[in-house]
Structure 1
Amino acid sequence: MRIVSGRLKGRHINPPKSFRARPTTDFAKESIFNIISNNFDFEGLKVLDLFAGTGSISYEFMSRGVEFTDSVEKDFHHWRFIQDTKQKLGLDNLNPIKGDAYKFIATCSKIYDLIFADPPYSMEGIEKLPELILNSQILSENGWFILEHSNKYDFSDYQHFKEKRIYGSVNFSIFEKKIR
């Protein structure tokens, strides 16, 4: 796994072989970040990375110069890996949070410009995430929620759905919080 762009481009991140996380492929990561960069200026963005796993998405955001990234991961070993990688890469504005993503959403008082979620594909309740995020107060107006998921889900009928992108077995559904 590597960081594909920004000031840390080319840096390799090597989680232990025992990790159960499924990191987003470099190709899919580069593609979704191209879409984001065509719609947002990374500088000043406030980002939330839910179900952070290896932290791969958080490192990409940090490499591109966002203001800060809160990275929520429930598994202690994954959270510890993100903590250690933060230190190794000198990512002072990366905030690894050990906790349940659903509980975090329910209690969070911050507002983010962009929220990325990559839950385990087999996890129950994935279909509720767009509604949970978009009905909460944690996503700014005109902010995006990007959900990585398997091809078994179709969110095109959901309120605030913007578009879907498919890269091999990786599906991204993008939602934009427009106040109507």
Structure 2
Amino acid sequence: MRIISGLYKSRKIVAPKNLPVRPTTDMAKESLFNILNNLYYFDEVTVLDLFAGTGNISYEFASRGAQQITCVDQHFACVKFINETAKKFEMPIETIKAEVFKFLEKASFKVNIVFADPPYDFSDEDFAKIPQLVFQNDFLLEDGILVVEHSKHTNLSEVEHFSYSKSYGGNVFSFFEKNEA
């Protein structure tokens, strides 16, 4: 994986092969950040990265100037890799080792962007539970959005707070907002 833009542009990050992850493709990541670039000044945003995996999305936010990024993942090896990479590049990334649904039920956070990249084989109910918990527990600031990455075989358009989705190959980003568009 590589960082597309910002301070660490073109840096390659090689994750251990034994991590239970499926990193977002560079094409999809670049498209996502083009959308977000039209909505936010990255040096003013706070980010919560759920199912963070390798930290791929968080590194991109950090490279573009985000000053507060929190990654949540339940796998020790993923959290360890993110911590090592963030330290190496002096990125403002904090990690929390936790099962995401338990974290969302108990934590108290307010951020501009919540990004969630759960396993693509999640059930429709598990996918729907992410926006439900994010909005129910008020994780988003007034201008905030939730972005859920999923496969083209999952449809989240009927989930409350859904705004729109964008497809890139087999990847889809569904956007959720406090005030439905």
Same fold (TM over 0.5): yes
| Runs (4+) off by over 6 Å | none
Which structure 1 segments of 5+ residues have no match?
none
| CA-based RMSD | 1.5
- 1:18 is the counterpart of 2:18: yes
Output the CA distance in 2 between the equivalents of 1:164 and 1:74: 27
Equivalent positions of 1:44-55 (< 5 A) are 44-55=44-55
- 1:82 is the counterpart of 2:82: yes
Secondary structure of 1:159's aligned partner: coil
Output the CA distance in 2 between the equivalents of 1:43 and 1:75: 29
Amino acid of the residue matched to residue 171 of structure 2? V
Structure 2 equivalent of residue 9 of structure 1: 9
Structure 2 equivalent of residue 149 of structure 1: 150
Secondary structure of 1:43's aligned partner: helix
Output the CA distance in 1 between the equivalents of 2:115 and 2:8: 20
Output the CA distance in 1 between the equivalents of 2:32 and 2:177: 15
What CA deviation, in whole Å up to 9, does each residue of 1:55-100 have, x standing for no partner? 0001011111112100001101111100110111111x21011111
Which structure 2 segments of 5+ residues have no match?
none
Secondary structure of 2:122's aligned partner: coil
Secondary structure of 1:116's aligned partner: strand
Output the CA distance in 2 between the equivalents of 1:42 and 1:117: 18
Output the CA distance in 2 between the equivalents of 1:29 and 1:80: 23
Please, what TM-score do these two structures have when normalized by structure 2? 0.94
Secondary structure of 2:149's aligned partner: strand
- 1:43 is the counterpart of 2:33: no
User: How far 1:179 moved relative to its partner?
Assistant: 8.2
Output the CA distance in 2 between the equivalents of 1:179 and 1:95: 30
8 A contact 1:141–1:178 mirrored in 2:
no
Output the CA distance in 2 between the equivalents of 1:157 and 1:42: 29
Output the CA distance in 2 between the equivalents of 1:177 and 1:67: 23
Structure 1 equivalent of residue 73 of structure 2: 73
Structure 2 equivalent of residue 96 of structure 1: 95
User: How far 1:127 moved relative to its partner?
Assistant: 2.4
Q: How many pairs are equivalent?
A: 179
What CA deviation, in whole Å up to 9, does each residue of 1:101-147 have, x standing for no partner? 11111111120110000001113412221222122211112210000
- 1:32 is the counterpart of 2:32: yes
Structure 2 equivalent of residue 173 of structure 1: 174
